[in-house]
């Protein structure tokens, strides 16, 4: 998963891949 996808995806909380 890309950083951008992580932000757009609702799994941002479960998978905090920001950066």
- pLDDT of the residue at 3: 55
- Reduce the secondary structure of 1-19 to three states and give it as a string: CCHHHHHHCHHHCCCCCCC
How high is the pLDDT of residue 4? 60
**What per-residue confidence (pLDDT) applies to 14?**
63
The tokens describing 9, both together, are: 């995806």
pLDDT per position as a tens digit, 1-19: 455 665 666 665 666 655 5
| Residue 15: per-residue pLDDT | 64
């Amino acid at each position: 998963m890309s950083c951008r996808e992580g932000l757009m995806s609702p799994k941002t909380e479960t998978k905090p891949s920001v950066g």
